[in-house]
């Protein structure tokens, strides 16, 4: 396990090595092979440049990520999955966002730090891994000191994750499904379970259990999210059994906020909200597996408004 963060110079070298993966893109498990350097776009729709939908201090993340000043969230456009129920579908599949120059994004990271953000939270970043490492090198050279959070769907390749060792401080992956049939039907992800399990184990090997500072703010480690779906379409028990096998101290976020969004109405039972009984059952499974450090959502928070990325402040509910 790498115990130290890479320097700005080392990050710049790493960015150069990472850029090679864009020649025949294999940053995610789609392994589409697009030559993004030559102008092609990958299966995710991304090209050679970074595209971003929003840069904002976000106060709706897990407590160790929020601190007092919020999480410095950067929402990248496009996604390596195509979830029919995605709450951020405007960004992931709807084309919301615009190109950003590397220096401008580095400046935005530094601004978030000045404003009191607890971290730099890179949301759905995997398809821009080489470009992000380059930006972090620039920001680190200019004095950025915040922890880097990699907020991802876990549909990533080992070679891409190897590039992030010493770069990422806190991994925040989803464990979306415990079954490949559901993953393909609802997210167009082949071999999702094997891919996500392997990715999450690599993340844990790099950063270990969650570590927080004296104020309870995350400094390093792994947090795994799992969204409970109606009629157990996510196979929650299978997901939680896998997560429990990684570490007795693993921190998980058990999310009960599912609400029909995007094309969910076309895929019953995703056309209805999650019931309280379904969420309570998921909590029982987590506790039975010893995952008693899980973050549980209160009913009021589960009903909170969802983001609208057509607005300057997408979380202004």
CATH top-level class of 8-223: alpha beta
Looking at residue 313, its pLDDT comes to 76
The pair of structure tokens assigned to 119 is 């971290």
Q: Is 154 helix (H, G, I), strand (E, B) or coil?
A: coil
Looking at residue 63, its pLDDT comes to 96
Which tens digit of pLDDT belongs to each residue from 234-251? Answer: 999 999 999 999 998 999
Question: Of 58, 105, 97, 77, whose CA–CA distance to 307 is shortest?
Answer: 58
Which tens digit of pLDDT belongs to each residue from 49-100? Answer: 999 999 999 999 999 999 999 999 999 999 999 999 999 999 999 888 999 9
Are the beta carbons of 286 and 294 closer than 8 angstroms? yes
Q: Parallel, antiparallel, or unpaired: how do β-strands 71-76 and 50-58 relate?
A: antiparallel
Give per-10-residue mean pLDDT for the chain (317 aa). 80 95 95 96 96 95 96 97 94 92 98 98 97 98 98 97 97 98 97 98 98 97 98 98 95 95 96 96 96 83 66 70
Cα–Cα distance for residue pair 110/92, rounded to 1 Å:
25
DSSP code of 139? H
Q: Parallel, antiparallel, or unpaired: how do β-strands 120-123 and 251-255 relate?
A: unpaired
């Amino acid at each position: 396990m790498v115990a130290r963060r890479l320097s700005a110079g080392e990050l710049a070298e790493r960015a150069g090595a990472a850029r090679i993966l864009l020649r025949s893109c294999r940053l995610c498990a789609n392994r589409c092979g697009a030559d993004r350097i030559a102008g092609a776009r990958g299966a995710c729709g991304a090209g050679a440049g970074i595209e971003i939908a929003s840069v904002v201090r976000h106060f709706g993340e897990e407590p160790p990520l929020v601190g007092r000043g919020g999480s410095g969230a950067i929402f990248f456009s496009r996604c390596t999955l195509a979830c029919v129920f995605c709450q951020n579908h405007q960004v992931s599949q709807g084309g919301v966002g615009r190109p950003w120059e590397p220096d401008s994004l580095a400046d935005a990271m530094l601004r978030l730090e000045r404003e009191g953000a607890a971290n730099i939270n890179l949301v759905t970043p995997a398809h821009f891994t080489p470009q992000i490492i380059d930006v972090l090198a620039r920001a680190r050279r200019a004095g950025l000191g915040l922890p880097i959070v990699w907020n991802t769907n876990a549909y990533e390749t080992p070679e891409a994750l190897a590039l992030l060792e010493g770069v990422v401080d806190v991994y925040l992956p989803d464990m979306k499904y415990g079954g490949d049939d559901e993953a393909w039907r609802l997210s167009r992800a082949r071999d999702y379970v094997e891919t996500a399990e392997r990715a999450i184990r690599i993340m844990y090997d790099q950063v270990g259990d969650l570590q927080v500072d004296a104020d309870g703010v995350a400094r390093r480690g792994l947090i795994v999210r799992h969204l409970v779906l109606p009629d157990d379409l996510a196979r929650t028990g299978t997901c939680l059994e896998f997560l429990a096998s990684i570490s007795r101290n693993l921190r998980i976020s058990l999310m009960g906020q599912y609400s029909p969004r995007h094309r969910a109405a076309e895929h019953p039972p995703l056309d209805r909200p999650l019931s309280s009984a379904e969420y309570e059952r998921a909590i029982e499974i987590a506790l039975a597996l010893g995952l008693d450090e899980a973050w549980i959502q209160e009913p009021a928070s589960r009903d909170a408004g969802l983001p609208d990325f057509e607005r300057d402040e997408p979380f202004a509910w």
